[in-house]
Structure 1
Amino acid sequence: MIVRSLIAALLASTIVVAVPAAAQKPLPTSDIPANFTPTNAKDYTVREVSIPMRDGVKLHTNLVIRKGLENAPIIFSRTPYSADRAISGRPSNTYKLALPTTYARLMEAGYIIAVQDVRGRYRSEGDYVIALPLSGPLNPAKVDHSTDSWDSIEWLVKNVPEANGKVGTTGVSYGGFTTLMSLVDPHPALKAAVPVNPLADGWKGDDWFHNGAYRQSFLDWVYRMSADKSGTYRLQFDREDTYESWLKAGSVGDMAKRIGVDQLPMFQKLVEHPAYDEYWQGQALDKILGERPLKVPTLHVHSLWDQEDIYGAPAVYKAVEPKDRGNDENFLIIGPWQHGQGYSLDGSKLADIDFDGNTSVWFRENVLVPFLDAHLKDGGKKSGIAPVTAFETGANQWHRYDRWPMSCASGCQYKSRPIYLSADGGLGWGAPKGAGGFAEYVSDPARPVTYRERPILSTYNPNTTWGQWLVDDQRFAESRPDVVTFVSEVLTDDVRLAGEPIAKFFASTTGTDSDWVVKLIDVYPAEYAEAPEMGGYELPIAMDILRGRYRDDPSKPTAIPANQVVGYEIKLPHVSHQFKKGHRIMVQIQSSWFPLYDRNPQQFVPNIFTAKKSDYVKATQRIHSSAKYPSRIELPIMP
């Protein structure tokens, strides 16, 4: 009876506490709610907008704004590399971690960041044309990067309530190019510009050619940028060592057909315009901006070891400088960097070369932010920066100058001084006397000189060190029989350079065309106590190439007269360097730089892009040195 009573009591209690079936909440069919609003704990916001251009095309733009910010200037960048990626750092609620380095620093300084996909790329509408020229003979449309910049700035100052009505443009590489384009016909609200390592002249010394020699490594870039809208495709070589792939393919045209690049309009334009004709001259931004009034204070950022656009910044600075009568609107900074390093990467080292401190941080804190603040902040104070700020490699010191170059052949504060090549491989300050002689080598296109040690990875290989090749130890080249080397005695005093070295040499060839590569090198002592691992290092200071057919007129190629002595001149990239006492100065000359540049057949053909395998021949090259033929390097020496 007791047990039955307990069971009855339990049943009764269960019935009492049970919830009626009609009142039960049904289980959800999915753990993902139909509507979810995340809690915004971030200290910044990203606002996506589509800005209409004058032709109706809308350009995708990201606005990154710190919470609570008011009356702030806008830093505006235009990129073909994705505006979304440009503002992507690491996942974080704070902009200092979420944004890339420089954008984070500018946000901290009180700026709004605006980044835009150029027309036809990623999320922007319209048609994409690589480095679209200004509207005119080369561009029949009524729009270009200059008009797109103007229209975008017009929209920004009217539609961003947190802004103070002032805009500064900036960007690296192609972004540097679009920054320069914003200066052609600047919007009244554009108050400052910082082009960083910009593409300015794609034939003379940026990206696609150097003095007529085609940079075939950029076939990767052309493929990535124009095979589709969003950079989906990557060029795949048949071998890890691209030296073998290029050599096996033959000419650039042969390689293009093999991998399908010949279908791309940009490559077709390159093939149609191998010389410095109206196509290239008509879009050279140093010439274009040099012909226009200077309306916007501009800080040109140059990298001494820029592996991609080493020509642009100094060239545009030089072209615009005569218009800066007060010496207070056209600025230049020269840093010890690879492409883009000073703007967004650590600047303590480049490969094995140590700079005794983070030069990139120094630039941002002491030059970039003060320059922008002075011109974009309401009531901004004078920046106090020098017209020219240059880092002197070798000594690892920053210098303030009132102009650049400091030393040159004429019109500079200091006069350049020649150092002469000797037929016996010497390099000295005394001019050669008498009949002299020559240094000789055989250039064989079947065994071209590499631009760095093999294996040579493609530009975008995940393991590439592409950004460091301009500081590679050149001992690998010195040991080759098809490279001639000239070296000085050990220096008894420091030698400072600040300007543009110019190679003026006399050469003969058994062929009817030839490339000439000249390298200016700092040779470290064999026993180097400061850094034993650098003992004997051959550090390139300035290197470049000239395609011989363009020696007289870049726009009209002509054959080189075989077996005759011909004079050549190569303006090497600008230097700010100190050869230290105990070091030596070296010059190397060769006739190929492969596979960075395409091979010269060494006999004259109408178009090297379409050369046949049978066109490539050996040639005997001679570098002459005598009273009649004083081959030399004009060095921009400082006291």
Structure 2
Amino acid sequence: MACLKPILFALLLTLSGTLQAAETPQAKYPDYPSETPAKFVPSTAGFDYVKRDVMIPMRDGVKLHTVILVPKGASHAGILLTRTPYDANALTTHSMSGHLGPMLQGYDNATDIIVEDGYIRVVQDIRGKYGSEGDYVMNRPLHGPLNPTPVDDATDTYDTIDWLVKNIPESNGKVGTLGISYDGFEPLMALFNPHPALKVSVPMNPMVDGWMGDDWFHHGAFRQQNLSYIYEQVASRDNSIKWWTSYHDEYDLFMHYGSAGALADAYGMRQLGFWNKLLAHPAYDSFWSEQAVDKLLAKEPLKVPVMLVHSLWDQEDIYGALAVYRAIKPKDSSGNMVRLVMGPWHHGQEIDEGSSLGAIRFGSDTAKYFREKILRPYLAQYLKDGAPKADLAPVTAYQTGSNQWQRLPRWPLACENGCAAKSRPLYLQADHKLGFDAPAGGDAYDEYVSDPAHPVPFRARPIQPIGYGDGQTWSQWLVDDQREASGRTDVLSYVSEPLTAPVTISGAPEVNLVAATSGTDSDWVVKLIDVYPDQVAEQPEMGGYQLAVAMDIFRGRYREGFTEARPIAANQPLAYRFALPAANHVFLPGHRIMVQVQSSWFPLYDRNPQTFVPNIFLAKPADYIKATQRVYHTPAQASFIALPVVGG
């Protein structure tokens, strides 16, 4: 019996295995295969384009994910390249379709021009984002003191173009690059040591100088609502780590945490390299000035035709395009290399519908006009074989107020060759009046109390987060009715008499503010506003509307220079001078002109403690104090806006 035990045990094991095998679907139904193939190959025979998904090698071996869309039957076609941190797949697959148009419908695609003119569309994930290899650095600086590596966005663009013209047989070897915002920064980087096949560059609303007036700061005041963008953009390669909030109103969110630094700490943002750079560089030191694209391009030869596209109400990057124009236009000896377009748009609206912005109506689709009458012939000139030269003015600018396009010889219409425009002071006067006559008497100043515990909202509450989804109005805030602010006791409003003749301005209004604070630091927000008549027959809801034409913020600690923060002498009238964003506007007869002055713009910008601290990001609750603010308007201490007035 003992010798039978091993045999019985082996038999039991065999039977057990057989039973288990019989219980599995594969064993029970051995001839019932999976209905899903190991690899499915879609049929695209009916598509009007061919899609190629490739990894393009850079000079350091890193490969960048690139989507190439070639119209069926294309031959000798120009290439339009966009490099993006926002997912090349998403930007080229807005709608699954056999037609190219729906695939490209959306952000950063001038779809009508791309499709109708038969361009080869190329969209590439920049280094370190989405499908591309390598390390991500926000607006990666050029190789040099801020970037010790041998690669940057300029070299990556060069290497990409080199590969494209050698590997797309349907092309004519001509490449243009275009994009908006961050994607608009990339066409500017392509201008450094450009590839010979790069024939044209179209930066639209580009990020240029993040400290001086684009995404991160304005004149030293931090744009803290962009914390969510930094968080999502840097925390993961594919932006899968999302910003979260427990508040419906962003005003409450930022007030709860106090300072931008405290909020960032609560969200774990010290793990993010770019945020740590912001913490370490609150002033305009070499970290900022040595990567400012306008300053860098000013030192470069101009080899590629450039069309800079600027939005007059750009709520994100209102500084960059015009800064680059000022930097490179002097190099345009022929007068044909640099073009400027200025439209009545929000950030990126030039590729969307452009007949209105918020409550403001223009009477026609201004964005469609730009794409069809300006962008289309301009791209064709450089990218299509045998295309005629585009009939474009050096500057094409939309004049708001009169609602018409203008062909201009230059920007701004400064005092050159006949003085088309001249600076004309618009004075703050006693009794909250505003006019072109210098102040003659009355009270020396007006005052208000600025309380960090109750900062002035930058728009009506509840304040939405930054975003472009359904129901979100972030893109419209620069044209919000300013009556919300003018009714507050901590906002000073100065208003003119109704105009009897039009006042036309063309350029950047210059703030000359004489003011005092009881604190040792202060912010100054100044707004130039067009006040509509109380009744507007053609659009009744615009009665009394206060439309901001130009407005911005200045952080007082930089009154003596942007490179170093210094405390303000308390209770002493001091001069603050800074430029507002450019305007091309007509104040019509019957309208009035208003100037508003306040000391917070929350939560778009972080609160100034009004006590000088070395780094406002690290301010403590006890640092935030009330301050009495005085704005002077005497003959000896006049506050005024220098308006770039045309024709009078």
For normalisation by structure 1, the TM-score amounts to 0.94
Aligned positions, number: 613
Asked if the contact 1:423/1:624 (under 8 Å) is kept, the reply is no
2:533 maps to which of 525, 528, 543: 525
2:305 maps to which of 270, 279, 297: 297
Match of 1:269 in 2: 277
- What code does the residue aligned with 2:318 have? I
Q: Secondary structure at the match of 1:156?
A: helix
Q: Secondary structure at the match of 2:430?
A: coil
- What code does the residue aligned with 1:360 have? A
Distance across 1 between alignment mates of 2:215 and 2:579: 17
In the alignment, structure 1 segments of 5+ residues that lack a partner are: 1-25
- What code does the residue aligned with 2:498 have? V
Aligned-residue offset at 1:31? 4.4
Q: Between the two proteins, what is the percent identity of the paired residues?
A: 53
Distance across 1 between alignment mates of 2:637 and 2:416: 19
Distance across 2 between alignment mates of 1:614 and 1:460: 33
Asked if the contact 1:103/1:113 (under 8 Å) is kept, the reply is no
Aligned-residue offset at 1:376? 1.8
Going from structure 1 to structure 2, the CA distance change for 1:58 and 1:264 (only over 3 Å counts) comes to same
Aligned-residue offset at 1:461? 8.0
Match of 1:438 in 2: 445
Give the 5 Å matches for 1:179-198. Answer: 179-198=187-206
- What code does the residue aligned with 1:222 have? I
2:73 matches 1:68: yes
Aligned-residue offset at 1:38? 1.9
Give the 5 Å matches for 1:106-185. Answer: 106-185=114-193
Segment drifting more, 347-356 vs 454-463: 454-463
Distance across 1 between alignment mates of 2:443 and 2:609: 30
Going from structure 1 to structure 2, the CA distance change for 1:198 and 1:412 (only over 3 Å counts) comes to farther
Q: Secondary structure at the match of 2:165?
A: helix
Going from structure 1 to structure 2, the CA distance change for 1:244 and 1:151 (only over 3 Å counts) comes to same
Asked if the contact 2:65/2:132 (under 8 Å) is kept, the reply is yes
Give the 5 Å matches for 1:468-479. Answer: 468-479=476-487
Distance across 2 between alignment mates of 1:104 and 1:122: 27
Asked if the contact 2:342/2:397 (under 8 Å) is kept, the reply is yes
- What code does the residue aligned with 1:66 have? P
Aligned-residue offset at 1:167? 0.7
Distance across 2 between alignment mates of 1:491 and 1:457: 36
Give the 5 Å matches for 1:416-495. Answer: 416-433=423-440, 437-460=444-467, 462=469, 463-495=471-503
Distance across 1 between alignment mates of 2:560 and 2:566: 8
Match of 2:9 in 1: none
- What code does the residue aligned with 2:92 have? I
Match of 2:408 in 1: 401
2:523 matches 1:552: no
Distance across 1 between alignment mates of 2:280 and 2:430: 40
Asked if the contact 2:510/2:578 (under 8 Å) is kept, the reply is yes
Distance across 1 between alignment mates of 2:587 and 2:381: 36
1:367 maps to which of 374, 386, 389: 374
Q: Secondary structure at the match of 2:529?
A: strand
Match of 2:594 in 1: 586
Aligned-residue offset at 1:179? 1.0
Going from structure 1 to structure 2, the CA distance change for 1:61 and 1:460 (only over 3 Å counts) comes to same
Kindly provide the CA deviation profile for residues 588-619 of structure 1, in whole angstroms up to 9, marking residues without a partner as x.
Answer: 00000000000000011000000000000000
- What code does the residue aligned with 2:321 have? A
Q: Secondary structure at the match of 1:47?
A: strand
Distance across 2 between alignment mates of 1:410 and 1:108: 41
Asked if the contact 1:494/1:579 (under 8 Å) is kept, the reply is yes
Aligned-residue offset at 1:512? 0.7
Aligned-residue offset at 1:502? 0.7
Aligned-residue offset at 1:290? 1.0
Give the 5 Å matches for 1:227-306. Answer: 227-306=235-314
Q: Secondary structure at the match of 1:157?
A: helix
2:632 matches 1:624: yes
2:103 matches 1:94: no
Aligned-residue offset at 1:412? 5.6
Aligned-residue offset at 1:273? 0.1
- What code does the residue aligned with 2:446 have? A
Going from structure 1 to structure 2, the CA distance change for 1:211 and 1:408 (only over 3 Å counts) comes to farther
Asked if the contact 1:176/1:198 (under 8 Å) is kept, the reply is yes
**What's the Cα RMSD here?**
1.6
- What code does the residue aligned with 2:45 have? N
Aligned-residue offset at 1:433? 2.7
Match of 2:390 in 1: 383
- What code does the residue aligned with 1:394 have? G
Distance across 2 between alignment mates of 1:327 and 1:586: 38
Aligned-residue offset at 1:28? 6.5
Match of 1:20 in 2: none
Match of 2:6 in 1: none
Asked if the contact 2:75/2:171 (under 8 Å) is kept, the reply is yes
Match of 2:326 in 1: 318
Going from structure 1 to structure 2, the CA distance change for 1:319 and 1:635 (only over 3 Å counts) comes to same
Distance across 1 between alignment mates of 2:50 and 2:69: 6
Distance across 1 between alignment mates of 2:512 and 2:410: 25
Kindly provide the CA deviation profile for residues 91-149 of structure 1, in whole angstroms up to 9, marking residues without a partner as x.
Answer: 32222233225134223212111110000000000000011101110011000001101
Match of 1:15 in 2: none
Q: Secondary structure at the match of 2:524?
A: strand
Going from structure 1 to structure 2, the CA distance change for 1:209 and 1:276 (only over 3 Å counts) comes to same
Distance across 2 between alignment mates of 1:99 and 1:245: 36
Going from structure 1 to structure 2, the CA distance change for 1:62 and 1:412 (only over 3 Å counts) comes to farther
Aligned-residue offset at 1:30? 4.6
Kindly provide the CA deviation profile for residues 310-352 of structure 1, in whole angstroms up to 9, marking residues without a partner as x.
Answer: 000011001111111221111100001000010x211111111
Asked if the contact 2:432/2:494 (under 8 Å) is kept, the reply is yes
Going from structure 1 to structure 2, the CA distance change for 1:411 and 1:504 (only over 3 Å counts) comes to farther
Asked if the contact 2:441/2:634 (under 8 Å) is kept, the reply is yes
In the alignment, structure 2 segments of 5+ residues that lack a partner are: 1-29
Q: Secondary structure at the match of 1:70?
A: coil
Asked if the contact 2:200/2:304 (under 8 Å) is kept, the reply is yes
Going from structure 1 to structure 2, the CA distance change for 1:40 and 1:638 (only over 3 Å counts) comes to same
Q: Secondary structure at the match of 1:636?
A: strand
Q: Secondary structure at the match of 1:416?
A: strand
Q: Secondary structure at the match of 1:363?
A: helix
2:56 maps to which of 51, 69, 81: 51
Match of 1:201 in 2: 209
Segment drifting more, 410-419 vs 578-587: 410-419
For normalisation by structure 2, the TM-score amounts to 0.92
Distance across 1 between alignment mates of 2:521 and 2:416: 29
Asked if the contact 1:409/1:415 (under 8 Å) is kept, the reply is no
Match of 2:358 in 1: 351
1:576 maps to which of 574, 577, 584: 584
Distance across 2 between alignment mates of 1:320 and 1:441: 43
Aligned-residue offset at 1:90? 2.3
Match of 1:636 in 2: 644
